[in-house]
Structure 1
């Protein structure tokens, strides 16, 4: 999916996007790009928004600079969103805690298989389910 199409999809349900560099270039780690994001990740993010009723802001997508792996940001599986009390409460209430990652991030797993990891200043979400 192109960045523009993904942006239209998330904006249609009121999801915002923020970039520290004010850009969307996938090859610049200061940008926030949704270029080549999996369609399913966008569907799942929209479901999170509508199910939670919370404000959601994307802060990380498919741009370079994230950890590698099969289900990585670059490969279109992961999206970072800002922390806020509404999202934090919804995730912790709705999904069971499954332990901490190796880096200490608390993880919560939906019955769908999606995993929400609370990193320092954002949620690192791995979308593997069909939403």
Structure 2
């Protein structure tokens, strides 16, 4: 039953699993989608170069990751600001920033309250509190920002 429901949702474009075959976006495509949904982003270096550690780049981000950020904003009903994307300087791995699965979000009271009151607290990642959504996406409080892994396009 679960597989059938998931298959129907996926076929309708309403759900997806993170896969290596997922569509990757250009920086321009990603920012257009984010802007249209009211999701903000900022860069400490004022740049968008994927190879610049002080930049915030969306080059090569998975389409599902951007959809997940938009879903998060809508579900939260609060302001969300992305501070980290696919740029260099983050930890490596399959489900990494570089591979388009992760985004960093600026901490703000509305977002903080939404994450901590909506999602399930799971084992800490190192010493950082971690929360998991029903979608499987994880939210890690890294002190000055939320490190979010989008395995699916749901929040």
TM-score, normalised via structure 2 length: 0.82
1:45 matches 2:69: yes
Please provide the CA RMSD for this pair.
Answer: 0.7
1:57 matches 2:73: no
Q: Are 2:105 and 2:146, in contact at CA under 8 Å, matched by a contact in 1? A: yes
SS in 1 for 2:47: coil
Q: How many pairs were matched up?
A: 130
The residue that corresponds to 2:116 in the other structure is 92
1:122 matches 2:145: yes
The residue that corresponds to 2:94 in the other structure is 70
SS in 2 for 1:112: coil
Between structure 1 and structure 2, the one with the greater Rg is 2
TM-score, normalised via structure 1 length: 0.97
- Runs of 4+ residues over 4 Å off in structure 1: none
Deviation at 1:130, TM superposition (A): 3.8
1:105 matches 2:128: yes
Q: Any unmatched runs of 5+ in structure 2?
A: 1-24
SS in 2 for 1:35: coil
